[in-house]
């Protein structure tokens, strides 16, 4: 089977994230992604997965591969992207989150409403706990949880001081396993590597971290793989002994 | 005035020593407060006591790298055995304060500055 090139933006928030704009509804996100030529997106709300299902369903309808994900804020306040094989493993992960989220009330006036919606944008749930804070688990504990569910673990926006792994923890903890590192849309890939020469052999993603529709696909990562499904996708991260995929940030972007 | 050792400071300010009991004769030189490890790596200098609420194992490596005299963990944040074992191995003194950072640093400031 041949290898094709897929355009991916793997860091997108919905209206459920405290800072996600209310316009970020599942349908609008999927439609915007398709309009901008993306083949794959990941839905990664802060500390919650409750808006992923409608995005996956609309993606199935309209022909966009939507990876089930989450952006978790660890106890050290390091943001980490987590990607899961399917809705079942994602729901198991939600149970872990529910047990680890501190019971601090969200203030909608300061941080916005945290609402989950259905496929038709009807509000079906409001998360009352703040999704903004660090969970009660170390970064290693989170990584092990994701790994046990067969997921992928990617420290987010590592170029940023605020909530990036280098800013918070100084360096990548020895022994921490991860599948890639993500850089933000604010940095140029080449410049980033020049300032972090030790990371030249790392698998690096660049994604938009979109909180508003216009930010979707601001940057993207290319996946060279057989098809847009979990098997090919996780293979591209070297999850299988015979790595069939390749991940590349297009030159000139960022 | 004689500069106090970590042992005396621990005793007089009511901290608890979690690890590195064998190195309490060190004499602390000023202090630094931050929860960003990158900031501590850039700005703290040797001999300082570091006050933080971070409990990740990387704090031990940073303290060792910067030759800090001790780390004070505030607010009685729970620590793992791995952290304590690593601190012991790398000769890093870990102290626990049952007060928040503000009160901890207030006491520490008065204590260290009035002595010097």
The values of phi and psi at residue B89, to 5°, are -60, -40
Contact B38 A75 (CB under 8 A): no
Fold of the A4-248 domain: TIM Barrel (3.20.20)
In the block, which residue shows the tokens 């804070």? Answer: A133
Contact A150, A89 (CB under 8 A): yes
- Interface contacts A/B by beta carbons within 8 Å: 36
- A138 contact residues in B (CB cutoff 8 A): 56, 80
Interface of B with A (CB under 8 A): 35-38, 40-41, 54-58, 61-62, 80
Mean pLDDT, rounded, for A144-153: 98
Q: Does A162 touch chain B (CB under 8 A)?
A: no
Structure tokens at A70: 């989450």
A73 pairs with which residues across the strands? A79
Mapping DSSP to helix (H, G, I), strand (E, B) and coil, where does residue A80 land? strand
Asked if residue B33 belongs to a domain, the reply is yes
Mean pLDDT of chain A: 92
Shortest CA gap B47–chain A (Å) = 19
Domain that holds residue B85: 6-113
List, in order, residues 6 or more apart from A113 with CB less than 8 Å away. A15, A22, A126
DSSP state of A250: P
- What is the tens place of the pLDDT at every residue in A44-71? 999 999 999 999 999 999 999 999 999 9
The 10s digit of each residue's pLDDT in A69-90 is 999 999 999 999 999 999 999 9
Q: What is the mean pLDDT of residues A149-175?
A: 96
Find the closest chain A residue to B83 by CA distance: A138
Task: Please give the average per-residue pLDDT across A3-9, as a whole number.
Answer: 94
Beta bridge partners, B17, equal B95
- pLDDT for B21 beyond 80: yes
What is the pLDDT averaged over residues A2-22?
91
A4-30 b/e with 16+ CB inside 10 Å = b? eebbbbbbbbbbbbbebbeebbbbbbb
pLDDT above 70 for B30: yes
Q: Which among A8, A131, A1 is positioned nearest to A59, based on CA atoms?
A: A8
> How large a percentage of chain A has pLDDT more than 90?
81
B1 lies in some domain? no
Report the share of chain A in percent with pLDDT over 70.
95
pLDDT at residue A108 is higher than 80: yes
Q: How confident is the model over A236-245, as pLDDT tens digits?
A: 998 765 555 6
What span, in angstroms and rounded, lies between the C-alpha atoms of A189 and B9? Answer: 48
Cα–Cα nearest to A143, from A167, A177, A169: A177
**Strand pairing class (A221-225; A4-12):** antiparallel
Query: pLDDT tens-digit profile of A125-141?
Result: 999 999 989 999 999 99
- Count of domains observed in chain B: 1
Specify the pLDDT at position B1: 64
Report how far residue B27's alpha carbon sits from residue A8's, in angstroms, rounded to the nearest whole number: 55
Considering only the beta carbons, identify the residue of B36, B54, B62 that sits closest to A167.
B36
* Structural domain contains residue B62: yes
In a domain, B109, yes or no: yes
Residue B114: per-residue pLDDT = 81
Is pLDDT above 50 for A254?
no
Return the domain boundaries, chain A.
4-248
- Kindly determine whether residue B61 and residue A76, on different chains, have CB atoms separated by under 8 Å: no
């Amino acid at each position: 089977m041949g290898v094709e090139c897929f355009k991916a933006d793997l860091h997108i928030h919905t209206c459920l994230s405290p800072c996600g704009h209310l316009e970020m509804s599942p349908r609008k996100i999927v439609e915007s992604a398709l309009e901008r030529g993306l083949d794959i997106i990941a839905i990664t709300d802060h500390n919650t997965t409750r808006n992923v299902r409608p995005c996956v369903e609309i993606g199935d309808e309209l022909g966009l591969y939507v990876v089930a994900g989450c952006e978790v804020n660890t106890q050290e306040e390091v943001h980490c992207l987590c990607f899961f094989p399917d809705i079942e493993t994602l729901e198991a992960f939600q149970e872990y989150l529910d047990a680890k989220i501190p019971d601090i009330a969200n203030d909608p006036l300061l941080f916005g409403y945290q609402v989950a919606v259905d496929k038709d944008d009807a509000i079906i749930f409001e998360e009352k706990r703040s999704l903004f804070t660090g969970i009660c688990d170390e970064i290693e504990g989170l990584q092990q949880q994701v790994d046990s569910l067969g997921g992928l673990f990617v420290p987010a926006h590592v170029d940023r001081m605020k909530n990036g792994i280098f800013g918070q923890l100084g360096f990548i903890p020895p022994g921490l396993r991860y599948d890639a590192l993500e850089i933000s849309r604010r940095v140029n890939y080449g410049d980033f590597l020049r300032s972090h020469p030790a990371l030249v052999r790392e698998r690096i993603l660049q994604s938009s971290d979109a909180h508003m529709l216009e930010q979707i696909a601001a940057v993207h990562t290319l996946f060279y793989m057989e098809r847009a499904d979990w098997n090919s996708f996780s293979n591209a991260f070297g999850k299988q002994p015979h790595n069939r995929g390749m991940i590349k940030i297009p030159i000139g972007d960022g | 005035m004689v500069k106090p050792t970590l042992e005396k400071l621990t005793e007089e300010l009511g901290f608890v020593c979690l690890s590195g009991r064998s190195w309490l004769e060190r004499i602390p030189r000023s202090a630094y407060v931050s929860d960003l490890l990158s900031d501590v790596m850039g700005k703290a200098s040797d001999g300082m006591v570091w006050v933080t609420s971070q409990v990740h194992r990387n704090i031990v490596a940073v303290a060792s790298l910067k030759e800090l005299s001790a780390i004070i963990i505030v607010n009685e944040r729970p620590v793992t055995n791995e952290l304590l074992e690593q601190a012991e191995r790398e000769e890093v003194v870990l102290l626990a304060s049952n007060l928040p950072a503000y009160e901890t640093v207030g006491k520490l400031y008065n204590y260290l500055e009035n002595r010097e």
